[in-house]
Amino acid sequence: MKEIVRVAAGQGFWGDDLDAPRRQVEGGQVDYLMLDYLAEVTMSILQKQKERDPALGYARDFVGAMESVLPAVVERGVKVVANAGGVNPPACAAAVKAVAEKNGAKGALRIGVVSGDDLLGRLDQLIAAGHALANMETGEPLSTVRDRVLSANAYLGSEPIVEALGKGANVVITGRSTDTALTMAPLRHEFGWGAESWDQLAAGIVAGHIIECGAQCSGGNCLYDWRSIPDLANVGYPFVEAKRDGTFVVTKHPSTGGRVSVQTVSEQLVYEMGDPHAYITPDVIADFTTIKLAPDGDDRVRVSGIKGKPPTDKLKVSIAYRAGFKAIGTLVYVWPDALEKAQLADKILRERLERLGLRFERILTEFVGASATHGHLAGDQRNAPEVQLRFGVRGPDRAAVERFTREIAPLVLNGPPSVTGFAGGRPKVEEIVAYWPALIDKSVVKTRVDLVQ
């Protein structure tokens, strides 16, 4: 058994630095490369792509990432775990296999494909069987938006990934699995942690939480002493060096920018945190109040002390549904009296929408440069050199939103003075795909692992 297992993060979301995966496997020794592609509404975008072309529906960036790390996987035995499968893990596996063959590595990959998370085809049957899939925030049953649902996926835990690795996979592709499982599963596989090794499983989850957003724990987006963080242009993505007892070190490769310190890791630990006593995952509930951090040399933080307890009998389900349309228009008003001019433009715009008889679920005005993000806390901004009027509408009627988009530009000539910043043209109408979080009994979700050679 390896004494230390290194799991490196190469992608914190779909759209992250394309070169990071390669830099992670070439910058020093790592055993596993973990790539997280799926944000909450990504699945619905992928579902739309799959509807247009049944061979799509996965994170296509992953194919390029695999191509860039292929030498490390084939020659040095680095294994890859990614949730790039989206709503079509088999198609993703086929694309990866094809790119390996194109690069002369035919037969070198054993791709474990995890499925079973996709509940879209089973929704009516599940609802009929009494699973309300009520919205965790509002309590409403899913039946209220059923006809507008685009995708529905259960968040899977570590078990199918561990199973795939146990079957000899060197690349594991999942659909909707929890971000943290992508890191914890390799550790569980390597160290043989049992299903009830609560503290170790929780440690693996915390390791996953720390590195799942990529460089956000290694100097990116770090407020603490931000001016002193070196060379963010060449920021080092993080990896963990874990031991069997569940303790681990967070670090990054030498000669990379950024920083790993108690402060950078602390900021990431509190990111998107709910109740710190109960970070709930399918495998274990981790207690973030037990985490101990200590400096361990340059760009190294030791993490220990983590406690876990048994999970619930539910899985979280991520459902995406069509929720109407929105558009946001902007104009920039300039000194003197920039804010006052923007406020008058807002008043005029509201009157015109009213006169046109346009009705919206929601209208929101913000004054960027004065109060958009800090509200009244920002204080008196009447002397601001410029203020952006940012005017958004949302509603079920596409035509009404469309009509609104024609009302911004006229203000330039028929509204308050000293206005600019309209070169972008009419605002774009966007269809809203909203997120519906729900819970479902674990017993109804059956996972499956296939090996593609």
How many whole angstroms separate alpha carbon 88 and alpha carbon 117? Answer: 11
Q: Six-digit token pair at 187?
A: 């550790």
For residues 61-71, one letter each, b for 16 or more C-beta atoms within 10 angstroms of the residue's C-beta and e for the rest, the string is bbbebbbbbbe
Measured from the CB atom, the residue of 17 and 267 that comes closer to other proteins is: 267
Total count of residues recorded for the chain: 453
Residue 221 interacting with other proteins (CB under 8 A): yes
Rule CB under 8 A: choose which of 36, 163, 337, 366 binds other proteins: 366
Give least dist CB 148 to other proteins, A. Answer: 13
Handedness of CA 67, 71, 72, 78 (dihedral sign): positive
The helix/strand/coil state of 361 is coil
Give least dist CB 203 to other proteins, A. Answer: 14
Residues in binding contact with other proteins, number by CB under 8 A: 50
Measured from the CB atom, the residue of 240 and 401 that comes closer to other proteins is: 401
For residues 2-14, one letter each, b for 16 or more C-beta atoms within 10 angstroms of the residue's C-beta and e for the rest, the string is eeebbbbbbbbbb
The span of 90-98, 178-186, 190-198, 266-274 binding other proteins (CB under 8 A) equals 266-274
Residues in region 372-411 near other proteins by CB under 8 A: 372-378, 390, 392-394
The span of 162-170, 241-249, 263-271, 395-403 binding other proteins (CB under 8 A) equals 263-271
Measured from the CB atom, the residue of 132 and 323 that comes closer to other proteins is: 323
Residue 350 interacting with other proteins (CB under 8 A): no
Could you say which DSSP state residue 367 is in?
E
How many whole angstroms separate alpha carbon 173 and alpha carbon 85? Answer: 6
Rule CB under 8 A: choose which of 41, 127, 344, 412 binds other proteins: 41
Longest dimension (CA), the chain: 75
Q: Six-digit token pair at 183?
A: 């890191």
Rule CB under 8 A: choose which of 1, 128, 223, 413 binds other proteins: 223
Tokens 């949302």 belong to: 394
Q: Looking at 120-196, list the stretches that DSSP marks H as alpha helix, in order from N- to C-terminal side.
A: 123-128, 159-166, 181-191
Give least dist CB 193 to other proteins, A. Answer: 23
Q: How far is CA 186 from CA 162, 191, 194, 199, 324, in A?
A: 7, 8, 13, 16, 41
The span of 187-195, 202-210, 271-279, 419-427 binding other proteins (CB under 8 A) equals 271-279
Measured from the CB atom, the residue of 28 and 305 that comes closer to other proteins is: 305
227 class by beta-carbon count within 10 Å (0-12 exposed, 13-18 middle, 19+ buried): exposed
Q: Six-digit token pair at 383?
A: 């002397």
The helix/strand/coil state of 334 is strand
Residue 292 interacting with other proteins (CB under 8 A): yes
Rule CB under 8 A: choose which of 120, 409, 434, 444 binds other proteins: 434
Residues near 353 by beta carbon (within 8 Å), at least 6 away in sequence: 360, 363, 393, 404, 407
Residue 291 interacting with other proteins (CB under 8 A): yes
Give least dist CB 224 to other proteins, A. Answer: 4
The span of 14-22, 237-245, 288-296, 311-319 binding other proteins (CB under 8 A) equals 288-296
Residue 326 interacting with other proteins (CB under 8 A): yes
Residue 270 interacting with other proteins (CB under 8 A): yes
Residue 368 interacting with other proteins (CB under 8 A): yes
Give least dist CB 35 to other proteins, A. Answer: 21
How many whole angstroms separate alpha carbon 187 and alpha carbon 207? Answer: 10
Rule CB under 8 A: choose which of 8, 349, 433, 445 binds other proteins: 433
Residue 267 interacting with other proteins (CB under 8 A): yes
* Percent of the chain as helix, strand, coil, to the nearest 5: 35, 25, 40
Rule CB under 8 A: choose which of 18, 129, 364, 451 binds other proteins: 364
Instruction: Using CB under 8 A, list all residues that contact other proteins.
Output: 40-41, 136-137, 221, 223-224, 263, 266-277, 288-293, 305, 323, 326, 328, 362, 364, 366, 368, 372-378, 390, 392-394, 432-435, 437
